[in-house]
Structure formats: C-alpha cells, structure tokens
Structure 1
C-alpha cells in the first residue's frame, strides 16, 4: 500500500516545486532579458537559421491542429505577425554599443517586462480555465473572447516565436553592417 502512495505523492511534490519555482523563473526571465549582453556573430547566425526550422514546425503544428481547433493556423499567423512587429520594434529601441570590435546590445526593459507579463498572465489564465472547466473535453459552447479559446495559445506562441525570429535576423543584418569582414 505505501508503494501505491509514492507515485501520487511524487506528482504532488513536483507540482508543488513547480508552483514555487514558477514566479522565481519569471522574475529571473525578466532580469536576464533586460541585461546588456555581447552579441556573438556565429551563434546569432546559427540561431537565425535554426529559427527557420522552428517556424516551419510551428506552422505545421498549427496546420495539424486545425483538425480540432479551426482557427489555430489563423491565430498562429496573426501572433507571428505581431511578434515580428514587436521584434523589429525591440531592435529599433534597444541600446547598441560597439566596443573593441564587439557589439553589445541591451534590450528595452519595458518590452521585456510586457512580454514576461504576457506569458505570466497566460499561465494564470490557463489555471483559471482549469478551475472553471476542469478537464472537460467539450465544455459548453458559448461566445468567448478570442484569448479565452484554446487556439489562442497558438497566438501567444506565434508572438514569442515571431519576436525572436525578427530579433535574430535583425541582429544578423545589424552585425553585417556594424562589423565588416
């Protein structure tokens, strides 16, 4: 009998640890997201090219999800477009420095805070929806705001992916201008 209790206790312990560490991880995400950092050209170039694979996989999963969530691909595309706009905006308003042949960049703290709060609010919204609906496969259909629908997760994912996509490719082109070979 005690062995049967071990698995539920382990699951509860992992959930408790996650609940304690989540706020800390969000605070750390904000702290590290707004720090000045050196841009390593080869690493940024590798990130930019690998982002193409991530974007392709994201839109493929959005297309596959349209079987169950009819607006998943549309939400993914809209979120991606907004994310690209935010990434370009972040590049334009970020502080750039060139020192001794290296480029340093400091992302805009307000934009980093906004994106961190967006992720935190979506996590809280998910918990609220879990409390409200439980694990119902087909909750009662009613008119809801777009951000309350399950396919809105594709919009948030597209926003974050689009932001980083624009950020990587924008940094890549900025480095080519600032550091001639």
Structure 2
C-alpha cells in the first residue's frame, strides 16, 4: 500500500519542484542569452543544421496537426515568416567584436527578454486554457492566437528566428574567416 501512495506523491513532488524552478530557469536563460560568446564555426554550423532539421520535423508535425486543428498551416507559416524577420532584426542588433584570430558576438539582451516573455505568456495562457477546459468544461478556442494553431505559430516564430539568426551568424563567421586568411598571407 505505501508503494501505491509513493508513486503519485513522487510525481506530485517532481511537478512542484519543476514549477518552483521555472522562474530561476527563465532568469538564467535571459541572463545567458545576452552573454558575450566566441563564434566557433563548427558549433554555429551544428546549430544551423540542427535548426533546419527541427524545422523539417516541425513541418511534418504541422501537416499531421492540420488534420485536427483548423488553420494550423496558416498560423505556422505566418509565425515562421515573422520569425525570419525577427531573426534578421536580432542579427542586426547583435554586437560583433572581430579580433585577429576570433570573432565574438553578444546578442541583444532586450530581444532575448522579449522572446522569453513571449514564451512565458503563451505558457501561462496555455495552462489557464487547459485548466478551464478540464475543470470548468470551457471549450478550447478553435481559431485565433489562443487556439492550438496559435501555439504552433509561437513555435514557428521561434524556429524561424533561430534558423535565420544561425544562418546569418554562419555567414558572418565565414566572412570573418575568409578575410582573416587574407590578412595572414605574405605581402
């Protein structure tokens, strides 16, 4: 009998710990998101290709979800296009420091904070909607930014941002490497 009580209690404790650590996790994400970093070409390439694979898998998921959720493709496409624009904005707001051997960059802290706040707002809205749907039997919205398709739009926005930012950062690093090689050549 005690084992039967221990398993649900352990699950409850785990969920409570995760909820309590969420603000700390978000604060650390914002803090490290705007930190100065060295642009390592191999790491940036892995990030770029990983984002492309994630985008492809996301497109498959949206195709499947489109069967049940009305407007999934429209919201995902709009979110992804908006994410591309935010990625371009993020790249232009990034501070670059080119040294003789390395390139350092520092993403814009305010943009990182805005993206994190968007995630928190959507997470809280989803939790409230889930609570209302399960306890008060309020139906989940079929359309709009508070629907399931709206959740896909937020995910698509983040994927579009990450993909565009990684691609532009990869171009910047390649440009830096190319001109660094010319600087070392004998004259």
Normalised TM-score (structure 1): 0.92
Secondary structure, aligned partner of 2:69:
coil
1: distance between equivalents of 2:36 and 2:51?
22
2: distance between equivalents of 1:141 and 1:126?
10
> Residue 169 of structure 2 is aligned with which of 147, 168, 171?
171
Aligned twin of 1:31:
31
Aligned twin of 2:115:
115
2: distance between equivalents of 1:63 and 1:80?
15
CA contact (8 A) 2:91 2:169 kept: yes
Deviation string 1:73-116 (CA, Å, 9 cap, x unpaired) is 21111111111110110001110001231111111111111001
2: distance between equivalents of 1:16 and 1:142?
28
Please tell me whether Structure 1 or Structure 2 has the larger radius of gyration of its CA atoms.
2
Q: How does 1:104-143 map to 2 (within 5 A)?
A: 104-134=104-134, 140=139
Aligned-residue CA RMSD (Å): 1.9
Aligned twin of 2:63:
63
Normalised TM-score (structure 2): 0.89
Secondary structure, aligned partner of 2:145:
helix
Unmatched 5+ stretches in structure 1: none
Distance 1:142 1:14, change over 3 A: closer
Aligned twin of 2:82:
82
Aligned twin of 1:54:
54
2: distance between equivalents of 1:9 and 1:39?
45
Aligned twin of 1:151:
149
Secondary structure, aligned partner of 1:147:
coil
Count of paired positions:
179
Secondary structure, aligned partner of 1:21:
helix
1: distance between equivalents of 2:126 and 2:75?
17
Q: CA deviation at 1:141?
A: 7.0
Secondary structure, aligned partner of 2:49:
helix
Unmatched 5+ stretches in structure 2: 182-187
CA contact (8 A) 2:69 2:142 kept: no
